[in-house]
Structure 1
Amino acid sequence: MAVSWLHRLAGLTPVPVFPALGMGGDVVLRRLAQATNIELVGSPRHASVLLVAGGVQPDLLEALRRVHDQLPWPSSSLWFRCEPLPELEDATRIDDIEALPGALAAIHRELLLQRRGSSPRLLPDNPPNPWEGLGDDGHGGEGMMGGVPYGRPMAMNMHDDIRDGLTLDSLTFRIGPFFPAFPPGMSAEVTVQGDLVQSWTTQSLPHLVALDPVFHDARQRSVPIARLELARVRYHLHRLFHGLRLAGWESAALHVLHLAMRLTSDSRADALRRRLERYGFFYLAALDGGVLEVEQARRVGGPASRAAGLDDDLRSEDANYQRLGFSPVFHNAGDTRARWQQILAEIEQSLQLAKQAAREDLHTQNSVAIETPRGPWSDERCPTDASRLLDEIIPGLEWDSALATIASLDIAALSDWPLVEDKPLTRSEERSS
């Protein structure tokens, strides 16, 4: 009786969900972050439901199986707009994003009330590397150190610390492609000494980033500048939402998300700037570092390039943007802090442009080349993957600075297909289109 009562009580708490994001799956984060009955957790070991959202490439399925098997008992999975693994015959699949929170809560409740069995383990319960009986003492190591007991590499003092020359234990591991702090799909092999990144090698590239359909339309025909700029603001707000969640500021992240949902040509970012300054976001120590040299910034493009002092922005070449008095805003430091300051400045600028363009009913004049929030897009130039750049700039950073640097960089290549967001147009967008 007591156990049954506890199960029922636990069923009323938020559902701990670990999201494994495939192609186009990041849209679910913004939907679930607003659901009061869902708790998005940072590790599969803290979840009762694994949410697989979007298509997962075949070469990432083995990594997905490893994530699945890390969930504690009892646990289950939900597959959003993708097919479950063949081993999970009874897994639930769903396509309706509005029904997603309820479906996750139902699975969690059924698990606790023992109306649903726990998902089976998909991988054999064996260490990934042989170790028993190896080494001088049979513990898999060399002497008293080294080796991979239970498949986990032991820390070894193999490198001089690149920060101060001390010889510290180093640990090499692979992280991703479902690590929430990384762009979905990206993985890397990392060597750390304490909290310092000694080396970084990108292993798999992030999924392509999809843009609002208005940017695809703008390559074909004239579109309302107000609509284009509001889509640009929304894109930047979604990136800022991720950065604030990474910093642990859930309330500020939700404020950003609500602003993105309610955008009109009359929206303002004053309250957002005041909130970020009051919280001290731009003074976080983790924002130190991650400096891009000019050529590195040019490879990334977009706000990252302008944060490094480049005034490259194709909107300057459009006659109606010139009529609005547009000129690129930019910073010179080129570090993580400058990139977030650049994004906020461009949000404010785009809102001003949208308001003025809506009042004057201005449309774009140049459809040959447009400036997307990811960078310039024309027949000659298109945002390509820049994740290999991390191999150059991450070594030497502390772990929190490394994650902040990655969050501030938009490094995925541009998709040929537009974003499917499952949201209605705002009234302002309906009028402008």
Structure 2
Amino acid sequence: MAVSWLARLAACAPVPVFPALGMRGEEALYRLALSPEIKLVDSPRHASLLLVAGGVPPSMQQALRRVHDQFPAPFTTLWYRSTPLVELPRAAVTTVDSLDALPGALVESHGSLLRNTVGHSPRLLPDAPPHPWQGLGDDGHGGEGMMGGVPYGRPMAMPPTEDLRDGLALDVLTFRLGPFFPLWPPGLEAEVILQGDIIQQFSVQSSPFPRALAPVFHEAREQSVAIAALERARARHHLQALFHALHLAGLEGLARDALRLADRCPSGDIALLAKWFKTFERRMKRRGFFALHLPERGALRQEQAERLGGFAARAAGIDRDARTEDDGYRRLAFATITQQAGDTRARWRQRLAEIAQAFDLAARAQRDDMRTAQTDAVETPRGAWRDSRPGGTSPLLEDLLPGLEWGEALASLASLELAALSPWPREERAETQMGGAA
């Protein structure tokens, strides 16, 4: 009786879901973050449902199995536009193709799990330590005498070098994260060496999945398009990026408000959107968002900023924007905005300035029905698209992140756009107004 009552009580709470994002899975994340029925969590150990959203390459399926086996039993899986792992029994798998049906499918799967009417996901990997140690070594603890080996499954504290920042000889921890780590871009996998909380080495093992842009940016490479539509899509892209940074900072209410504002960008009243954004920006400053990013942390050198291009280059003082070459933008008196520091804080100030500028340009262009005049160069949110699309730039992290504390590194990474642009546009859907002013 007590177990039944507890199950009914649990069914009334938001569903704890861990999202493993594959290729083109971001829209599922943004949809669920605004659903009051869903609670997205950052660790598989805090969830009862695994959501795999988007395609997972065969090379990353083993990593997905490792994520799968970290869930506490009982749990089940739901696959959104993704192919389930072949080892999973059909009774433990639910597939969904509709974005609007996704929250309801997760709630139903959770209820079935609590009622014990759906199959539980089994473990897929052998239950064995990655570094066997029991009974090995001189004294049966895996090591050789007092040192060496991996006693108790962990290497002895024998730092090869002094700490990069303060010279202390702290313990060294080597680990891999990704490609489904929720606090950095989907697909990115890296081997990290920490000494204390300072990154000593950051080695990229796989690059982020290509990022799909709104269709209007692809259309602008083929024909003249409405400038208002381009700028609305630009503002939406930057607001979605801001969601990740605010979530990382623990500002969950502001993070959801950024997504609500982004959700209204394609068709909302532009004057009202600009007004909401000004209020939202003031709230960000009052909540101390910029104080969390110390000066000079994650600063780009000149060649790094030029390689990244786009807003990251402009945040480092590089006055370069393909919109200055378009007669349509010239008639709107477009002027490039820049910062100077080139660090994490400057990149977020640049993004916010470009969102405000996008709303202003969209309002004036919509009033006068202004359109682009060229197709050979389009300024995307990721950078200029000329003869080829902007490519991936994740290898620069290997030079940028060492020497930073772990929290500073995560914040710096969140402020960058590292994924290559996808050759296919993002699939558009009918916008759902989520309710509540941003």
Aligned residue number for residue 310 of structure 1: 318
Separation in 2, partners of 1:402, 1:104: 33
Separation in 1, partners of 2:54, 2:397: 25
CA deviation after TM superposition for structure 1 residue 385, in Å? 0.6
Aligned residue number for residue 96 of structure 1: 98
Choose 216-225 or 7-16, whichever is displaced more. 7-16
Structure 2 counterparts to residues 150-189 of structure 1, below 5 A: 152-153=154-155, 155-189=157-191
Choose 405-414 or 130-139, whichever is displaced more. 130-139
Q: Which of the numbers 392, 414, 418 marks the counterpart of 2:425?
A: 418
Aligned residue number for residue 436 of structure 2: none
- Find out whether 1:15 has 2:15 as its counterpart: yes
Deviations 1:219-254 (A, max 9, x none): 000000000010000000100011111111110011
Paired residue type of 2:39: E
* Other structure's SS at 1:70 match: coil
* Aligned partners of 1:307 and 1:334 also within 8 Å: yes
Q: Which of the numbers 393, 398, 401 marks the counterpart of 1:394?
A: 401
CA deviation after TM superposition for structure 1 residue 103, in Å? 1.1
* Aligned partners of 2:142 and 2:153 also within 8 Å: no
Paired residue type of 2:331: R
Structure 2 counterparts to residues 271-420 of structure 1, below 5 A: 271-285=279-293, 289-379=297-387, 381-420=388-427
Paired residue type of 2:261: L
Change (3 A) 1:336 1:130: same
Q: CA RMSD in A?
A: 1.6
CA deviation after TM superposition for structure 1 residue 2, in Å? 1.1
| Greater than 2 Å deviation, 4+ residue runs | 128-136, 141-159, 263-267, 285-288, 421-426
Paired residue type of 1:183: P
Aligned residue number for residue 256 of structure 2: 254
TM-score of the pair, normalised by structure 1: 0.95
Separation in 2, partners of 1:120, 1:155: 36
* Other structure's SS at 2:106 match: helix
Deviations 1:1-30 (A, max 9, x none): 111111111111111110000000011111
Separation in 1, partners of 2:156, 2:183: 24
Deviations 1:55-105 (A, max 9, x none): 001100000000000000101110000110001131111111111111111
TM-score of the pair, normalised by structure 2: 0.94
Paired residue type of 2:414: A
Separation in 2, partners of 1:106, 1:145: 53
Percent identity, please: 58
Aligned residue number for residue 200 of structure 2: 198
CA deviation after TM superposition for structure 1 residue 147, in Å? 3.4
Choose 60-69 or 273-282, whichever is displaced more. 273-282
Separation in 2, partners of 1:320, 1:349: 15
Paired residue type of 2:278: D
Aligned residue number for residue 226 of structure 2: 224
CA deviation after TM superposition for structure 1 residue 116, in Å? 2.1
Aligned length: 425
